[in-house]
Structure 1
Amino acid sequence: MRPRVGVVADDVTGAGDIGGLFAEHGYAVRVFGAEADLGALPRLLEGRRCDVLVVDTDSRFLGPEEAAGRVARAARALQGLGCTLLWKKTCSVFRGNVGAEFDALLDALGAGFGAAVAAFPKNGRTTVHGVHYVRGVPLDESEFKDDPVHPTRTAKLLEVVAAQSRRPVHSLPLEALREGRAEEVLEAARRQGGYLLCDCQTQHDLHALARLLHAEPVLLGSSALAEELPRFWDPPEPFDPLAGVDLGPAGNALVVAGSVMPQTRAQVEAFVAAGGAELVLGGEEALARPERARAALAEQAVRHLRRGESVLVRSENHPEAVRRTRERGEALGLGGLEVSRRVSGLLAEVAREALAHTPVRRLVVLGGDTSASVCRALGIRQTVVLREIQPGLPSSLAVLEKPLLLVLKSGSFGQPDFILRALEHLESLRSSHD
C-alpha cells in the first residue's frame, strides 16, 4: 500500500520541509504556491509524475476565517486529484491558525477525526504530557515567546488547538505509546471524534507513531512523520527530478536572510566568518526611505554577483535592532505584522532586481515570511522538491522560464553551517547533472 499524498501547508518553507522528507524516500514531490490556480492543477500535472502534491495556502498570518477558506479550497482540490492521505501541515511549534485550519480540513473532507504530531525530534521539537519543548525548553519560554508576529503564550498544545477549534481534543501520552496501549487510545479518540495530539520525544517514538498511523487518511501537524511513514508503505519507482533540466554553468549564489531567529543569526555569522560578502538592510531606513534602501542594496548585490561572488543580503537581526525597527513602525502607525511584511517585501525586491540583472541561477532564502515574499516577487508558483540538505531543509527547482535552484529555509531550522552547506549542495546538484 502506498497512498497518493496531498498536503495543505500554511507557509512555503513548511511546504518544502515536508516535501523534502518525502523526496528523501524517492517520492516525486511538487509544491504549488499560494498564487497558483487550483483549478489548473489537473492540467499542470498532466503527464508529470507526482506522488506527493503540496499546496501552500500562505495562511499562517491571516485571520482564522480567511485561513480556513483557503485550507478548505486546497483540501477539496487535492481530494479531487485522487489524494488518499490528506495532511494539514502546520508550524512545528503550532503558530498560526492551527485549530481553525484543522477544522477546515475535516469539514472539507467530510471527516470526523485526525491524528496530530507536532514534534520533530531531529530539529529539537518534542512533546511530553502535552507540553511542547524546543531543544528542551518549554515552548512558552523559548525564543518563540519573542516572535514578532505570533509570540507564544503557552506550551500546552491541547490549549492551543482547543482555543481555536470547535471539536474535542484528546491526547496520546508517551507512556501509552511506549507501553503498547496506543492503539486503544487511538480507537477511543476516533469514536469520540476530533483530534488526537500525540506525545513524541525521540526518533524511536516517531517510528512507533508512524507504525500506528500509517493507514490513517487524515494527519495533522509538523512534517516529521513524513520521515518514518514511507517505511510502512510500498516503495516508489526510481525518479530523477533533474533529468533533462538545464541548470546553467557553475557559479555563485544570492542569499537572502529575513528571519530574526537566533539560528538564522548564527548561520549568517558563519557565512561571513568564512569570507562571504554581506549587505545589511537597516530596519529604520527600510520603513522611512524604502526606495532609496532598495536601490542601493540591489546595486551593491549586482556588483558582487557580477564579480562572481556569492553575496548575502539580510535585514537587521539582533534583538536591539529589531526592537528599534518595531518602535519606528509604531511611530508610523504600523503593527508588527506590517513591519515584518515591509522589510521582507523590500528584501524580495532586492532579490528580484539582482537576479534580473545577473546570470545567477542559485538562490537561498532564510525565513518563512521572506521566502513567501521572494516567491511572489519572482513569480514562483510551482517547485519540484529535490534533496534534503539538513533535516527539514531541502533544495528545490523553481519551475520558471529559466530554471532556478532554490533553497527556502525556516528561520528556526538548521545548523550554524547551513548556508555554507546549502551553497555546496546546490553546486553538487549542478555538477552531477552536467
Structure 2
Amino acid sequence: MPHTVVIADDVTGANDIGIMYTKAGHSSVVYSLDQLDERAEFEEDVSIIDTNSRFLSDRDAFRRVCQAVMLFPKNQVRQFFNKQCSVFRGNIGAEFDAMLDALEEEFAIIILGFPDNGRTTIHGIHYVHGKKLEDSQFKDDPVHPMKQSDLLEILKSQTGRKAAAIHYEYLDQGVEILKQRIGELKEEVNYVIIDVRNNEDLSVIAEAVRDEKVICGSSAIGYYLGLLHKSNAKQEGTEALKRAGTSILCIAGSLTPQTKSQIAYIKNRNYPVITLDTTQLFTGEAYRNEKRRILKEYAKARVHSPMVLIHSMNQEEEVLRTKHLAAAAGIDNTAVSEMVSAALSDLAKVIADHYKIRKFVICGGDTSASFCNKMSIKGMKVIKEIESGLPTCRSITKPYYELVLKSGSFGSEEFIEKAKDILLCRNLHFRHDE
C-alpha cells in the first residue's frame, strides 16, 4: 500500500508530481483512471491516479476524483494529494471539495508555487515568471483564460467552503510559527493557501505540513515532502531505456510559446518536421487525404533521422482559420482542441503499429492524454528527470513504451532534443534491471 496517494487532473501533471517523489527516493507509478486494472495492487510508495478531468464539467470532475480516492483505504495511506495545474486552470474547487468529501475531512493545505518553473505566490497573488497570472500567457488560454491573480478569489468562486491565506511573513519566522498559524486557521476555515517565493519556502512548508492528511496544489512541494519520509517499496534503480528501438516519434499539439519555441529549435537543427493541417479535420474525406499525406511524408523522413516531429498548425492566423471553420460547423474551442489531439494520436498509433515505434516525446497535456488513451497505456513508472517536472517514463504493460510527456508550458527551448538524446541513451547511462 502506498504511503502517498495523488489524484491528478491530467497526465502530464501526474508525471510532473511523480518525478518529484521519485527524485526524493520514492517509487512512483501513474495510473489512468479510465484504464485502471481492477487487479492493480499499488505496491509503490506513491500511487498517482490520472482522472483526466481538467476539461470536464465540475460535476463530472467531482465524481471522478471521488471515484479515484475511494480506491484506497483512508487509514492505510499517510497523505492524500490533489494535484492541480500550477496556474489554477481547471475544476479547482470541485476537485478539492471532492477529495475532502470522499475522505470525510474538512481541511486541506494548498501550495501552488513551483519556483523552478517560474510559479510563485506572494501575499496570495500568483505570478508566472514575474508577471501576475492575469498578465501572463495564461490570460489567453483558449479553454481556461486566467483573468485574476488572487488565488483566494479564484478558489472562493469555485467552492462554498471557507478559505484563507498565509503570507510569507509567517514562513520567515520558522516552521513552528507556521505550524501554529496553520493550527489556528484550521479552526476557522477549510482551505489555507500558503505563499511560495522560492525553494527555501517549500522546504519550510513541507516541514510544517508533513503530517497533514490532505495537500492540494502543484507538484513542487512533493519533492520536499518526499525528503521527509522513508521509502517503503523496493528501489530498483534507474530503468533501462535501450531495448525499445532507435526511432523516436514526437507529436506536439500545444499552442504555448514554450512548445512553439521548442518546435522552431527542432526545425533549426534540421530534424524532419511535418505540420498537420488542422483546417482539414472537419470532413472525413479531407482528413483521410491529410492523413495519407502525413504518413507518406513520415515514411520518407524516418529514413534519414532518428526522430521525426509531427505538430499541429500553431501560427496565430492558422489557428484562427481553424477556429473559424470549426465555428461554422458548430464546434467550440474545447471540441476543436480534442479533435486536434485525437488526429495527432491517431497518426501516432498508425505509425507505432506499422514501424514498431516504442519511444515517444509528446508535447501538450491534451495531446498526451489523447495519446495515452489511443495507445491503451494503463499506467507508467516514473523514471528519470530531464528538466524540472519533466521525466522519462515507461508503460507498465506490454508493449513497453518509453515516454516523455511534456506539459505545453514547460521545458527549455532545446528540451525535445534533450529528451531524444536521453531516450536514445546518448548522454545518460541506464542500468538494465529486467
TM-score by length of 1: 0.94
**CA distance in structure 1 between the partners assigned to 2:167 and 2:265 by the alignment:** 39
Within-5 A mapping of 1:2-41: 4-37=3-36, 40=38
Please point out which of 402, 405, 416 is paired with 1:405. Answer: 402
Pairwise CA distance, 1:70 = 0.2
Residue-by-residue CA offset, 1:157-190 (whole Å, 9 max, x unaligned): 1111111111101101111211343223201221
Q: Secondary structure at the match of 2:331?
A: coil
1:300 is matched with 297
Please point out which of 185, 196, 199 is paired with 1:200. Answer: 196
2:342 equivalent to 1:345 = yes
Pairwise CA distance, 1:143 = 0.7
Counterparts in 2 of 1:77 and 1:220: CA distance versus 1, 3 Å: same
2:372 is matched with 375
2:45 is matched with 51
The letter for the 1-side match of 2:36 is D
2:75 equivalent to 1:78 = no
The letter for the 1-side match of 2:402 is L
1:269 is matched with 264
**CA distance in structure 2 between the partners assigned to 1:208 and 1:178 by the alignment:** 9
Q: Out of 223-232 and 305-314, give the one that drifted further.
A: 305-314
2:331 is matched with 334
Checking the alignment, whether the CA contact within 8 Å between 1:26 and 1:237 is kept in structure 2 is: no
Within-5 A mapping of 1:221-370: 221-235=217-231, 239-240=235-236, 247-248=242-243, 250-288=245-283, 289-370=286-367
Counterparts in 2 of 1:81 and 1:250: CA distance versus 1, 3 Å: farther
**CA distance in structure 2 between the partners assigned to 1:211 and 1:274 by the alignment:** 45
Within-5 A mapping of 1:134-145: 134-145=128-139
Pairwise CA distance, 1:426 = 1.3
Within-5 A mapping of 1:377-392: 377-392=374-389
**CA distance in structure 2 between the partners assigned to 1:151 and 1:211 by the alignment:** 34
Pairwise CA distance, 1:242 = 6.0
**CA distance in structure 2 between the partners assigned to 1:299 and 1:176 by the alignment:** 61
Residue-by-residue CA offset, 1:322-353 (whole Å, 9 max, x unaligned): 22221221111110000100011000000001
**CA distance in structure 2 between the partners assigned to 1:81 and 1:324 by the alignment:** 53
Pairwise CA distance, 1:311 = 0.2
Residue-by-residue CA offset, 1:351-407 (whole Å, 9 max, x unaligned): 001111113221000000000010111111111111111001111001232211001
**CA distance in structure 1 between the partners assigned to 2:401 and 2:346 by the alignment:** 17
Pairwise CA distance, 1:265 = 0.7
Pairwise CA distance, 1:300 = 2.3
**CA distance in structure 2 between the partners assigned to 1:246 and 1:214 by the alignment:** 34
Please point out which of 184, 188, 194 is paired with 2:184. Answer: 188
Q: How many residues get paired?
A: 427
**CA distance in structure 1 between the partners assigned to 2:244 and 2:209 by the alignment:** 44
Checking the alignment, whether the CA contact within 8 Å between 1:294 and 1:349 is kept in structure 2 is: no
The letter for the 2-side match of 1:268 is I
Q: Which runs of 5+ in 2 are unaligned?
A: none
Checking the alignment, whether the CA contact within 8 Å between 1:28 and 1:241 is kept in structure 2 is: no
The letter for the 1-side match of 2:329 is L
Please point out which of 128, 146, 152 is paired with 1:152. Answer: 146
**CA distance in structure 1 between the partners assigned to 2:354 and 2:300 by the alignment:** 10
Q: Out of 176-185 and 3-12, give the one that drifted further.
A: 176-185
**CA distance in structure 2 between the partners assigned to 1:186 and 1:153 by the alignment:** 29
Residue-by-residue CA offset, 1:4-41 (whole Å, 9 max, x unaligned): 01000000000000001111122111111132236x1x
Q: Which runs of 5+ in 1 are unaligned?
A: none
Q: Out of 234-243 and 322-331, give the one that drifted further.
A: 234-243
Q: Out of 234-243 and 394-403, give the one that drifted further.
A: 234-243
Checking the alignment, whether the CA contact within 8 Å between 1:287 and 1:343 is kept in structure 2 is: no
**CA distance in structure 2 between the partners assigned to 1:248 and 1:55 by the alignment:** 27
The letter for the 1-side match of 2:348 is A
Residue-by-residue CA offset, 1:37-67 (whole Å, 9 max, x unaligned): 36x1xx2227xx4000000000000000110
TM-score by length of 2: 0.94
User: Identity of paired residues, percent?
Assistant: 34
Checking the alignment, whether the CA contact within 8 Å between 1:18 and 1:226 is kept in structure 2 is: yes
Q: Secondary structure at the match of 2:33?
A: coil
How well do the aligned residues superpose, as a CA RMSD in angstroms? 2.0
1:175 is matched with 169
2:413 equivalent to 1:416 = yes
**CA distance in structure 1 between the partners assigned to 2:2 and 2:187 by the alignment:** 24
2:56 is matched with 62
Q: Secondary structure at the match of 2:48?
A: strand
The letter for the 2-side match of 1:282 is D
Pairwise CA distance, 1:431 = 5.7
**CA distance in structure 1 between the partners assigned to 2:420 and 2:249 by the alignment:** 9
1:109 is matched with 103
